[in-house]
Chain A
């Protein structure tokens, strides 16, 4: 009958009884059906015993009858533990709250990661996930089942062949395999290829369409090079035609050149800035320079990789002046021609090659070199012309 588990649950008291007829007390206790265990006589004539908490309160009349007195030595069991806990209820409450918070916070979705998307933006996936009930700070237990979730997501997102949703702790990873789509073909009207300018054909390659000219043919501007009419049908001409085109440039190159230079004099100003407001700290006074260039550098306070909106702004005011340089005629000419070549590349495509250049006429006047240069350029001469029915 002595069961330590139940005794601990219901509470037990270890008492020390002193008096003459302790044996009588023990007998009485057992007669009344109270549980007594570990009755241990102590050398000084007292007896230590354990009784149940419920029986402890019925002990008083028995003690009176047998003339014994008792003192409580130890209290053990759940009721006493609860009583002790009640004394520290706020501590216990904090303890419970802490665990509740840990459990609550760990049952939220904190982070959603999207992997494997190349063309589909992450935001689109997240929006689709949100409409399926998957978003940050959602309860994990409220989430739909993972297989259903991935199925629904795959249905919602176009251009996706597979979606996998997996959860590790509070992080959800959405893995995406994008469907590879065939390239969309451009819709084009039937067209001819015509020449952009008068040229001599150097290369013709017709992928589709009927070539109308041969290599070394002279073509006029607007002449059909590759025809889009083939066998009575209208088709989209495709291919490449290159030819030699003559370009004439009137070049003007100045011999005198102005250049901005720093004199080396500078003035510094320091500001403390908060957001968009800056307060000047150092470098008061007028700027003594006639012409100047201001360089501003911001040095924000940083914490890890975050830039705070507070920091130091320094301004360097550098005095500038213009100096005039005279360059040689030869150099001015070269620079003029180079500029013209760049212009050709820019206008007719970088795959153009300049076959030859010839200065037809040049004169030096008013501090400038005037010249007329003739370029022979091998370039793309194709222009499309839609076939109108």
Chain B
């Protein structure tokens, strides 16, 4: 993505008040209690164990900690994680 396009997009987002996940493909996390985590715009699984799950994002990565984690469903863009979720670490690489 060229620098100009990125800047233009950022400007549109700010000017038109659009949600970032639609335009920038930013991840969107929906956490339901401590039981279900719904992540959109992920880029694949990096590591997976009952206690930890690492996901690649378009920029950076996401770490989910807990116990008895299960990938309920996985699609190219979306993932649903179930289990006892105790922590979510977001490691973004901002510009």
Interface of A toward B, CB cutoff 8 Å: 1-2, 22-23, 26-27, 29-31, 33, 35-41, 43, 47, 49
Contacts and interface: CB of A to CB of B under 8 A. Distances in A.
B50 interface: yes
B85 interface: no
Contacts of A41: 48-50, 69-70
Interface in B33-78: 44-50, 69-76
Contacts of B48: 22-23, 26, 39, 41, 47
B76 A33 contact: yes
Nearest to A32: B76
A26 B71 contact: yes
A37 B78 CA distance: 12
A39 B70 contact: yes
Contact of A31 (B49, B50, B76): B76
A38 B76 contact: no
Interface residues of B, number: 15
Contacts of A22: 48
A51 to B, nearest CB: 11
Contact of B72 (A2, A23, A30): A2
A57 B84 CA distance: 34
Contacts of B72: 2, 37-39
B45 A2 contact: no
B40 to A, nearest CB: 13
Given A23-B44, A23-B45, A26-B45, 17 more contacts: A22-B48, A23-B47, A26-B44, A26-B71, A26-B74, A27-B44, A27-B45, A30-B74, A30-B75, A36-B73, A37-B71, A37-B73, A38-B73, A39-B48, A39-B70, A41-B50, A41-B69
B54 to A, nearest CB: 8
25 contacts: A1-B73, A23-B44, A23-B46, A23-B48, A26-B48, A26-B74, A30-B74, A30-B76, A33-B76, A36-B73, A36-B74, A37-B73, A37-B74, A38-B71, A38-B72, A38-B73, A39-B48, A39-B70, A39-B71, A39-B72, A39-B74, A41-B48, A41-B70, A43-B50, A47-B48
Nearest to B71: A39
Contacts of B71: 26, 36-40, 49
Given A22-B48, A26-B48, A2 B73 contact: yes
Nearest to A45: B49
A27 B44 CA distance: 5
Q: Which has the most chain B C-beta neighbours within 10 Å: A26, A31, A33?
A: A26
A37 B46 CA distance: 17
A38 B70 contact: yes
A237 to B, nearest CB: 111
A37 B82 CA distance: 11
Contacts of A35: 75
Contacts of B73: 1-2, 36-38
Contacts of A47: 48
B47 to A, nearest CB: 6
Q: Which has the most chain B C-beta neighbours within 10 Å: A29, A36, A41?
A: A41
A40 B67 CA distance: 11
The 9 closest A-B pairs by CB, nearest first: A39-B71, A27-B44, A23-B45, A2-B73, A40-B70, A37-B73, A41-B50, A30-B74, A30-B76
